[in-house]
């Protein structure tokens, strides 16, 4: 009786969260899955069943592939800068040499995280501006004037200009999390490594990196799914332009749903995004073999 | 300690619950008190969605609404706004919902106006046109808001586009407003040779470039063909390729990388004398009053080898519709009629420089000489071609406009663009 009671109590405690998740996460996912087999728009409640038509069209759509490629680039670059670069940055900041300035630098790196993306967007449109932009002026100053271009308006550079803004904003956040992890690493390990004759780089590779594995796993999920779902940065800076060159899946979805009014097609894009992020999640789980902590 | 935490949490929870339940009546009470101060006892509230959250328009609408509420104490007007590019998304979302605004702004053509009419979003307001002839006969440009002889909207003003030029810069190099394409190119060349930026374009949102496209199509392709393609898109005429070549010819004269500059930003550059010429809408004339230089305008130059019109202009009326789901269509129409009444039309011209659709609203009292000139130009022209981004199916206009972006940056040829446009046009039933 008491056991049953306790069990019941446990479920009762879980119930609110579970219901909320069910209502606001799983139910919409299910409904959206159904929507992707129809052709409709929000004006016209009548839905036309088209079975897999939306998916077939999607896999033939060159803009879908541009978006996918841009997302993958986003993933790759964010992984290098945030998951790997963040760790290096954290290790440097935690090094004894920087002890005095570390708190100051930490704040500097962390501040961009606190600024709203809309503000950063406006800031960087001015930095990238071809007429009055700081970036082009800087390039001219150091004699690289021939590299100056309209960063956000050129099909070759637009997506990279956007990705860079993301890195600028997020690397501080990653570093902050790594700093916490590094501070938790027992000092004895470093002492032992020093006695064994390991230099700074070897200490980093054989002590810091393995000890931060859990955090790397968490951060890589965070960065990779984040890069797949990225919207604000692209929307504020380029709106997916010029000529769809910097389109990512979520901005393309938005365009389809709210500009072109092809809701069914947009649902199909959403489902593909969900599947992609799930695949990445499972692969990561396998590679890192973690989750014990 | 545990007990204390528990008590605190309980307190917190109570506060939340109290806050939740208290919210609704509070809100009502506050809106009651505000309305009580502005007008005695409001019975109906109509919602009004438009695209001018920016000055000077914001003040204009606030004043007009205040005046309307004063004259009609039983009607309350609540406005929601979003600027141009945001509005295009917002209106699509809001109008599909269950409680759309009673009165909303729209462009005419396939992208917005026709869609609202065909998808049963807009209310048939013909009876109001019939009832009040005194008002309705005084409105210009009703036709684009009609379908099968029925009225679905009220035009507020007619917008068009001309080249604005900086007279100081022109005088410096002894230039005159060009009339033909060749003169236009040689003017641009002179400006370029003297180190000026000849043409300012902010094509980040590709509609800016699409206005060039509309204009060259009007010059190059015969009126009959263009009108046919606006009805059912085919775009097979070889002249369309030549039209794009004309834009290509202009690309060396634009500012650096126009695709990365927004239109508003470009306009500010132009106002700061960063360029000689800019293609702008007629209702943007008031912005030039802030300019420190003398300015003039000229129509898109004529092109001799073109089969189209030499002097036609591009543009369209823009205005308001009443939503079919509106619970107070009478109040909504009352407001719309007020917006397009003689005094409000005059105010629109005088205070924000928009050429009102009310006949006679643009006169010596309300407008400057140049503004009257521009308005007369619109009123006199018989051939006004709707913007291509509004006039044709979005599925076709999108690759077309994106194509112009690529054309300007030199990464696509006119033939490649038309190929894509044709492919999309074929898909339209």
* Residue B172 reports pLDDT greater than 50: yes
Tell me which of B84, B87, B257, B264 to substitute to probe the interface with A (most A C-beta atoms closer than 10 Å): B257
For residue range B199-223, list pLDDT tens digits in order.
Answer: 999 998 899 999 999 999 999 999 9
**Residue B423 and residue B356 share a domain:** no
Residue A33 included in any domain: no
Q: What is the pLDDT of residue A47?
A: 82
**Cα angle for residues B387, A41, B315 (degrees, 5° grid):** 10
Pick the closest to residue B400 from B144, B111, B107, B113 (CA basis). B111
Asked if B405 lies within 8 A of A154 by C-beta distance, the reply is no
* Residue A7 reports pLDDT greater than 50: yes
Q: Which residues of B touch A264 (CB under 8 A)?
A: none
Asked if B259 lies within 8 A of A241 by C-beta distance, the reply is yes
Q: Across chain B, what does the average pLDDT equal?
A: 85
Lowest average pLDDT, out of A130-134, B211-215, B251-255, B270-274, goes to A130-134
Asked if A131 lies within 8 A of B406 by C-beta distance, the reply is no
For residue range B84-95, list pLDDT tens digits in order.
Answer: 888 988 888 888
| Contact by Cβ (8 Å): B328, B44 | yes
β-pair type (B384-385, B313-322): parallel
**Residue B139 and residue B115 share a domain:** yes
Q: What is the pLDDT of residue B1?
A: 56
Chain A closest CA to B131's CA: distance in Å? 30
Q: Which residues of B touch A139 (CB under 8 A)?
A: none
Q: Cβ atoms within 10 A of the Cβ of B116, count?
A: 25
- Over residues B285-309, the mean pLDDT reads 88
Residue B69 included in any domain: yes
Q: Could you give the C-alpha distances from B14 to B4, B181, B196, in angstroms and in order? A: 15, 75, 68
A7 against B12, higher pLDDT: A7
Residue with tokens 């993306």: A117
Q: What is the pLDDT of residue B16?
A: 53
Of B89, B269, B409, the CB nearest to A155: B409
Q: What is the pLDDT of residue B2?
A: 61
* Residue A225 reports pLDDT greater than 90: no
**Residue B284 and residue B183 share a domain:** yes
Ordered DSSP codes for A173-198: HHHHHHHHHHHHS-HHHHHHHHHTT-
Q: What is the pLDDT of residue B31?
A: 38
Q: Which helix (H) or strand (E) holds B317?
A: strand B313-322
pTM: 0.81
Q: Which domain holds residue A190?
A: 62-288
For residue range A58-73, list pLDDT tens digits in order.
Answer: 999 989 999 999 999 9
**Residue B231 and residue B140 share a domain:** no
Pick the closest to residue B400 from B384, B411, B416, B386 (CA basis). B416
- Over residues B144-167, the mean pLDDT reads 91
B96 at A interface, C-beta within 8 A: yes
**Residue B311 and residue B200 share a domain:** yes
Q: What is the pLDDT of residue A286?
A: 81
From CA A194, how far away is CA A203, in angstroms rounded?
Answer: 8
Domain count, chain A: 1
Asked if A260 lies within 8 A of B394 by C-beta distance, the reply is yes
Of B93, B206, B256, the CB nearest to A130: B256
Q: Band of the pLDDT at A43, cuts 50, 70, 90?
A: confident
Q: Which domain holds residue B208?
A: 160-315+381-427
**Residue B391 and residue B259 share a domain:** yes
Separation of first and last alpha carbons in chain B: 73
Last residue of a domain, one of B348, B371, B394: B371
Q: What is the pLDDT of residue B40?
A: 47
* Residue B253 reports pLDDT greater than 90: yes
Chain B closest CA to A42's CA: distance in Å? 5
Chain A closest CA to B327's CA: distance in Å? 18
Residues within 8 A of A (CB atoms), B 188-247 only: 203-206
Q: Band of the pLDDT at B36, cuts 50, 70, 90?
A: very low
Q: Could you give the C-alpha distances from B73 to A146, B77, B337, in angstroms and in order? A: 65, 10, 16
β-pair type (A44-49, A38-41): antiparallel
Residues 6+ apart with CB under 8 A from B251: B407, B408, B410
**Residue length, chain A?**
293
Domain count, chain B: 2
Which region holds residue B68: left if phi is over 0, alpha if psi is between -120 and 50, else beta?
A: alpha
**Residue B143 and residue B181 share a domain:** no
Q: What is the pLDDT of residue B38?
A: 45
Q: Which helix (H) or strand (E) holds B413?
A: none
Q: Band of the pLDDT at B39, cuts 50, 70, 90?
A: very low
For residue range B327-355, list pLDDT tens digits in order.
Answer: 999 999 999 999 999 889 888 888 888 88
Instruction: Identify the DSSP state of B51.
Output: S
- Cross-strand partners of B150: B147
ipTM over 0.85: no
A39 against B42, higher pLDDT: A39
- In angstroms, how far is CA B219 from the centroid of its own chain? 22
Smallest CA–CA distance from A43 into chain B, residue: B96
For residue range A100-115, list pLDDT tens digits in order.
Answer: 888 898 889 999 999 9
Lowest average pLDDT, out of A23-27, B291-295, B313-317, B369-373, goes to B369-373
Q: Cβ atoms within 10 A of the Cβ of A76, count?
A: 13
* Residue B107 reports pLDDT greater than 50: yes
Phi, psi of A83 (to 5 degrees): -75, -45
DSSP H helices, B232-324, are 239-250, 263-271, 285-288
* Residue B29 reports pLDDT greater than 50: no
* Residue B365 reports pLDDT greater than 90: no
Q: What is the pLDDT of residue B67?
A: 93
**Residue B293 and residue B231 share a domain:** yes
Q: What is the pLDDT of residue B37?
A: 40
* Residue A143 reports pLDDT greater than 90: no
Smallest CA–CA distance from A238 into chain B, residue: B204
Residue A20 included in any domain: no
Residue A1 included in any domain: no
Residues 6+ apart with CB under 8 A from A277: A224, A225, A228, A229
- Cross-strand partners of B157: B318, B356
B251 at A interface, C-beta within 8 A: no
| Contact by Cβ (8 Å): B213, B279 | no
**Residue B244 and residue B219 share a domain:** yes
For every residue of B148-188, which 3-state class applies, written as one string? CCEECEEEEEEEEEEEEEEHHHHHHCCCCCCCEHHHHHHHH
Return the C-alpha torsion angle A237, A243, A248, A251, nearest 10: 70
Q: What is the pLDDT of residue A182?
A: 92
Q: What is the pLDDT of residue B10?
A: 60
Pick the closest to residue B255 from B240, B239, B241, B272 (CA basis). B272
Residue B149 included in any domain: yes
From CA B389, how far away is CA A273, in angstroms rounded?
Answer: 30
Asked if B92 lies within 8 A of A244 by C-beta distance, the reply is no
Residue B120 included in any domain: yes
Q: Which residues of B touch A60 (CB under 8 A)?
A: none
Residues 6+ apart with CB under 8 A from A48: A38, A39, A40
CATH code of B173's domain: 3.40.190.10
A33 against B10, higher pLDDT: A33
* Residue B27 reports pLDDT greater than 50: no
**Residue B204 and residue B145 share a domain:** no
Smallest CA–CA distance from B121 into chain A, residue: A43
Residue B29 included in any domain: no
What are the E-state strand segments in chain A? 38-41, 44-49
* Residue A74 reports pLDDT greater than 90: yes
Token representation of residue A251: 């901005």
Of A43, A125, A242, the CB nearest to B96: A43
* Residue B299 reports pLDDT greater than 70: yes
* Residue B42 reports pLDDT greater than 60: no
Q: Which residues of A touch B205 (CB under 8 A)?
A: 239, 241
Asked if A153 lies within 8 A of B206 by C-beta distance, the reply is no
**Residue B366 and residue B295 share a domain:** no
Residues 6+ apart with CB under 8 A from A149: A130, A136, A157, B257
* Residue B249 reports pLDDT greater than 90: yes
Residue A23 included in any domain: no
Residues 6+ apart with CB under 8 A from A59: none
Residue B66 included in any domain: yes
Coil, helix or strand for B175? coil
CA atoms B103, B109, B110, B111: torsion sign: negative
* Residue B35 reports pLDDT greater than 70: no
Q: What is the pLDDT of residue B169?
A: 93
A44 against B192, higher pLDDT: B192
Give the long-range contacts of residues B35-38, CB within 8 A, separation 24 or more: B35/B76, B38/B66, B38/B69
Q: What is the pLDDT of residue A250?
A: 93
Ordered DSSP codes for B14-30: HHHHHHHHHHHHHHHHH
Residue B311 included in any domain: yes
* Residue B3 reports pLDDT greater than 70: no
Q: What is the pLDDT of residue B23?
A: 40
Burial class from Cβ neighbours inside 10 Å (0-12, 13-18, 19+) for residue A242 reads: buried
Coil, helix or strand for B324? coil
A194 at B interface, C-beta within 8 A: no
Q: Which helix (H) or strand (E) holds B234?
A: none
Q: Is the peptide bond before A149 cis (omega within 30 degrees of 0)?
A: no
Residues above pLDDT 90, as percent of chain B: 46
Q: Estimate the crossing angle of helix A263-288 against helix A27-35, to 10 degrees.
A: 130
B273 at A interface, C-beta within 8 A: no
CATH code of A264's domain: 1.10.3720.10
Asked if B260 lies within 8 A of A244 by C-beta distance, the reply is no
Q: What is the pLDDT of residue B361?
A: 82
**Residue B271 and residue B409 share a domain:** yes
Q: Cβ atoms within 10 A of the Cβ of B75, count?
A: 21
* Residue B291 reports pLDDT greater than 70: yes
């Amino acid at each position: 009786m008491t056991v049953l009671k306790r069990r019941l109590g446990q479920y009762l405690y879980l119930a609110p969260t579970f219901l909320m998740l069910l209502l606001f996460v799983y139910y919409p996912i299910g409904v959206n899955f159904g929507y992707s087999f129809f052709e409709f728009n929000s004006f016209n409640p009548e839905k036309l069943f088209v079975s897999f038509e939306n998916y077939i069209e999607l896999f033939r759509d060159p803009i879908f592939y541009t978006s996918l490629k841009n997302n993958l680039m986003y993933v790759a670059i964010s992984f290098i800068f945030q998951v790997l670069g963040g760790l290096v940055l954290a290790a440097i900041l935690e090094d004894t040499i920087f002890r005095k300035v570390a708190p100051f630098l930490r704040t500097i790196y962390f501040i961009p995280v606190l600024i709203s993306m809309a503000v950063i967007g406006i800031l960087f449109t001015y930095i990238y501006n071809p007429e009055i932009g700081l970036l082009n002026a800087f390039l001219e100053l150091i004699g690289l004037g021939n590299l100056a271009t309209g960063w956000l308006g050129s099909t070759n550079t637009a997506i990279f200009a956007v990705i860079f803004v993301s890195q600028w904003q997020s690397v501080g956040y990653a570093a902050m999390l790594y700093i916490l992890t590094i501070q938790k690493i027992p000092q004895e390990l470093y002492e032992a490594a020093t006695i064994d004759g390991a230099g700074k780089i070897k200490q980093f590779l054989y002590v810091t990196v393995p000890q931060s594995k859990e955090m790397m796993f968490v951060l890589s999920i965070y960065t990779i799914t984040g890069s797949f779902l990225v919207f604000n940065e692209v929307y504020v800076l380029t709106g997916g332009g010029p000529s769809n060159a910097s389109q990512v899946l979520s901005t393309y979805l938005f365009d389809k749903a709210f500009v072109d009014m092809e809701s069914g097609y947009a649902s199909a894009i959403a489902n593909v995004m969900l599947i992609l992020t799930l695949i990445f999640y499972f692969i990561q789980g396998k590679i890192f073999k973690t989750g014990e902590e | 300690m545990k007990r204390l935490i528990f008590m605190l949490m309980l307190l917190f929870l109570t506060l939340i619950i109290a806050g939740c339940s208290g919210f609704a009546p509070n809100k009502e009470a506050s809106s009651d008190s505000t309305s009580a101060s502005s007008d005695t006892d409001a019975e109906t509230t109509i919602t009004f969605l438009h695209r001018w959250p920016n000055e000077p328009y914001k003040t204009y609408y606030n004043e007009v609404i205040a005046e309307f509420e004063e004259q009609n104490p039983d009607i309350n007007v609540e406005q929601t706004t979003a600027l141009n590019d945001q509005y295009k998304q917002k209106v699509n979302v809001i109008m599909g919902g269950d409680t759309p605004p009673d009165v909303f702004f729209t462009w005419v053509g396939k992208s917005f106006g026709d869609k609202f009419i065909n998808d049963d979003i807009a209310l048939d307001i013909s009876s109001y046109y019939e009832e009040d002839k005194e008002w309705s006969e005084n409105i210009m440009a009703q036709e684009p808001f009609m379908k099968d002889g029925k009225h679905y909207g009220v035009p507020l003003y007619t917008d068009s586009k001309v080249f604005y030029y900086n007279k100081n810069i022109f005088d410096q190099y002894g230039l005159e407003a060009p009339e033909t394409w060749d003169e236009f190119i040689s003017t641009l060349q002179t400006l370029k040779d003297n180190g000026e930026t000849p043409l300012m374009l902010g094509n980040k949102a590709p509609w800016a470039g699409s206005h060039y496209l509309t204009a060259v199509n009007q010059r190059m392709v015969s009126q009959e063909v263009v009108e046919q393609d606006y009805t059912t898109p085919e775009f097979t005429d070889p002249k369309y390729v030549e039209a794009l070549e004309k834009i290509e010819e202009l690309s060396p004269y634009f500012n650096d990388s126009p695709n990365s500059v927004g239109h508003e930003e470009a306009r500010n550059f132009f106002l700061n004398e960063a360029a000689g010429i800019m293609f702008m809408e007629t209702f943007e004339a008031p912005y030039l009053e802030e300019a420190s230089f003398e300015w003039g305008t000229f129509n898109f130059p004529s092109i001799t080898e073109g089969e189209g019109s030499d002097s036609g202009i591009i543009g369209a009326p823009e205005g308001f519709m009443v939503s079919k789901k509106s619970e107070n269509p009478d109040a909504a129409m009352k407001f719309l009629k007020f917006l397009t009444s003689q005094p409000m039309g005059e105010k629109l011209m005088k205070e924000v420089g928009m050429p009102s659709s009310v006949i006679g609203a643009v006169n010596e009292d309300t407008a400057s000489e140049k503004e009257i000139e521009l308005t007369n130009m619109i009123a006199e022209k018989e051939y006004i071609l709707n913007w291509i981004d509004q006039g044709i199916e979005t599925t076709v206009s999108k690759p077309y406009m994106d194509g112009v972006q690529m054309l300007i940056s030199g990464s696509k040829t006119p033939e490649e663009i038309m190929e894509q446009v044709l492919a999309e046009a074929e898909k339209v039933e």
